[in-house]
Amino acid sequence: MTKIIIVDDHPLVSEGVKALIETDSSLEIIGIATSGHQTKELLTTEKPDVIFLDINLPDCSGIDLCREILLKFPSISIIGLSTFSTPSYIQAMLDSGAKGYLLKNTTKDELLKALKTVISNKTYISEEARTILNTFKTETEIVLTRREREVLQLIASGKANSEIAKDLFISPATVDTHRTNLLAKFKTNNTALLVKQAVKLGFVAF
């Protein structure tokens, strides 16, 4: 029996996913959480094989939560489940260790296929999400490291180097190096143009 937890702050989504999963007798929903805090509380008593994890939670980013969960429980397979079809979000979720990514308009067949795939220790990206990633990679040759994406998102949110350094537990000098590298990669010479270009190419979403 494969044990599953659903993490989403919209009850309608959670109940819908639960209903689809329960059509397969080999799958069992052992918990539903609506926030990062609830998820961590749930994991103190339950040991799921798979977690369906929304990116946009009320108290944290699902991307950060994914990374945090896998540091403590590396055997859990996490599938990102989101309305976000922005390439940077999909890639960031995968970079955080997620074994799969589905958009919330997924079908029952695809959802069950994703489950079977990650259970067998393989990665599953929905056809729509894969197309988005492939198109994005075709349109741009800009390749960012995970840290550069984190710094870029914080720059786009208007934070100064000192604030970014504090958030990421790195030195301001390191942030400045990342900022310089980002300006070079996006072929821009100021922060405003950097953010504008990053949004246009899908590296940043608001």
Rounded to whole angstroms, what are the CA distances from 17 to 28, 33, 84, 103? Answer: 12, 13, 17, 12
pTM over 0.85: no
pLDDT tens per residue across span 62-114: 989 999 999 999 999 999 998 877 787 888 898 899 999 999 989 999 999 99
Q: What are phi and psi of 18, to 5 degrees?
A: -60, -45
Say if residue 37's pLDDT is above 80. yes
Spatial contact of 70 and 99, defined as CB atoms under 8 Å apart? no
Beta partners for 6?
32, 52
pLDDT tens per residue across span 182-202: 998 888 889 999 998 888 777
Q: Which residue has the higher pLDDT, 186 or 154?
A: 154
User: Helix, strand, coil shares of the chain as percentages rounded to 5?
Assistant: 50, 15, 35
Q: What is the mean pLDDT of residues 113-125?
A: 94
Q: What are phi and psi of 178, to 5 degrees?
A: -65, -40
